[in-house]
Structures are given as structure tokens and as C-alpha cells.
Amino acid sequence: MPRHVAIIMDGNGRWAQLRGMPRIEGHRRGVDTVRMVCEACTELKIKVLTLYCLSSENWKRPQQEIDFLMELFKQYLIEERDLIMKQDLKLQVIGRKHRLPADVLSEMQTTLQLSANNQGTKLQLAVDYGGRDEIAQAAQAIAQGVQDGRLQIDAIDEQCVSDHLFTAGQPDVDLMIRTGGEMRVSNFLLWQLSYAELWVTETCWPEFSREDFDAALNGFAARDRRFGGIKTSNLGDV
């Protein structure tokens, strides 16, 4: 079972448009899928679930869609509080949170505080997030530490960088799922995905089912994760 599952929830708008609906209806339906995946991770005791909710590039979308996404996020933070507590989920939000509307930030802070002591799956929402931006911010923090004398240059290694990321203290991503069929990582958790197994499906996020999620987990379980090495039994083939 993977410790950390990350999901790019793609295909909401396309799913809606193919059915003659406005794009925003796809985002609305996608909330049901979020609920299903959270329940599955709780049941399976997966340590971290990271969902790519809004990239730093998504601000380029039509203002009407952005406004709807912000309102939908706020509604989620309010309406799912009881379920978050019931499932013992610990909410975390990563990204440039300060750029979100004030009312969204207020509801987010309330839900974060409410779930702060929960011990179950960490539900990590990437909002206004970009992987390159995260690494750049980590580099700035490390440089500041060197300048202040708190950090020696020869102490800067992979662990040091990991400790300065938004995901400090968490296991790296074991399984990255992308719905909607696109074959790219889209600036998502670039450092943390280094050894992740990738599972892409043509199924769009609003229709992604528990069966689809289980298929991804089964696919992960069947893979041989060598992290750059080889099995001892294969040495004779070198």
C-alpha cells in the first residue's frame, strides 16, 4: 500500500462540456469524487493524500471560472467539516495561500484548526501551488539560513532541501494518479515525485470511481520498485 498518494484531478471541464453542461458543473461534480477518495484512504489507512486543486497557472482561466472555484473551495471547507472530523482527517493546505480571497482564507483557517489534532490520513490540498515555485522558496529559505549563519553550505543535501519544502516531514509520493488522460506532471510536486509510480487514466475526475482507485492501487502493488537498483536474483543478467 502506498504511504503517499497524489492526484491530479483533471478533466472536470471536458467532462461537463461533452455532456452539454457548463465547465463549472464538472468542478461541482468533482467534489463527490474527492469525498469518495478521502473515504477510501481513511479505510485503507493511507498516510497522506495530496490533491492538486488549483495550480499557480490556473489564475489564467476565465474570471467566472476562477470565482466559482473559490466559492466551491469555500463551500467544501464548510460543508465537509463534519466528515473531516468523522474520518479523523488532518487537513493541510500547501501553496501561496495568501493570494486567496479573505473569506476563503477565513474558512480554511477554521477547518485547519478544527482538524489540527486529528491522527488519520493527512488530506493535503495544493491550492495556488506550483512545484518550481515551491523549490524556489525552499532555495530562498536555505540561502537565508546560510546568510544568517544558521546553516553551513556543506550541510545542504537532499534531506536539507526536503526539510524546507511545504511537505517537510512527509514521505515522498509513492503513487501519482492523473485522470483525464494527459501524460504530464504539470508542475506538481516535482521534487516529491522523483521515484513515484505514475498511473494515468482516460477517465475524467467527475466519473473516477472507487473501482478506478482500487485499480490504481493494485497496479502500484504489482510494480517492482527498485529505486535505481536491481534485484539480487537478476545480477547474473548484467
pLDDT over 60 at 232, yes or no: no
In the residue annotation, 103 being an active-site residue is answered as no
Q: Is the pLDDT of residue 125 over 70?
A: yes
Q: What is the mean pLDDT of residues 62-69?
A: 87
H-assigned helices in the chain: 12-18, 23-44, 63-79, 81-86, 102-114, 131-147, 158-163, 210-222
* Axis-axis angle for helices 63-79, 23-44 (nearest 10): 30
Q: Which residues contact 109 (CB under 8 A, 6 or more apart)?
A: none
Region of residue 9 (phi > 0: left; psi between -120 and 50: alpha; otherwise: beta) = beta
Summarised one tens digit per residue, pLDDT across range 24-43 is 899 999 999 999 999 999 99
Whose cell is 511545504? That residue is 166
Pick the catalytic residue from 10, 128, 174, 212.
10
Q: What is the pLDDT of residue 222?
A: 94
Range in 36-40, 56-60, 63-67, 231-235 with the lowest mean pLDDT: 231-235
Across the chain, mean pLDDT equals 93
Tell me, which fold does domain 4-130+172-222 have in CATH? Undecaprenyl pyrophosphate synthetase (3.40.1180)
**Residue 235: its pLDDT value, please?**
47
Q: At 130, give phi and psi (nearest 5°).
A: -145, 135
Choosing from 58, 118, 163, 172, the catalytic residue is: 58
| Average pLDDT over every residue of 73-99 | 94
Q: Stretch 35-59: mean pLDDT, rounded? A: 94
Q: Is it the case that residue 226 has pLDDT exceeding 90? A: no
Instruction: Give the annotated binding-site residues for Mg(2+).
Output: 10, 197
Give the tens place of pLDDT for each residue, 135-172.
Answer: 999 999 999 999 999 999 999 999 999 999 999 999 99
Beta bridge partners of 117: none
| Residue 58 annotated in active site | yes
**Tens-digit pLDDT profile for residues 168-184:** 999 999 999 999 999 99
Model confidence at 228, pLDDT cuts 50, 70, 90, reads low
> Residues annotated as binding site for substrate?
11-15, 23, 27, 55-57, 59, 61, 178, 184-186
What's the pLDDT score for residue 71? Answer: 93
Is the per-residue pLDDT at 194 higher than 90? yes
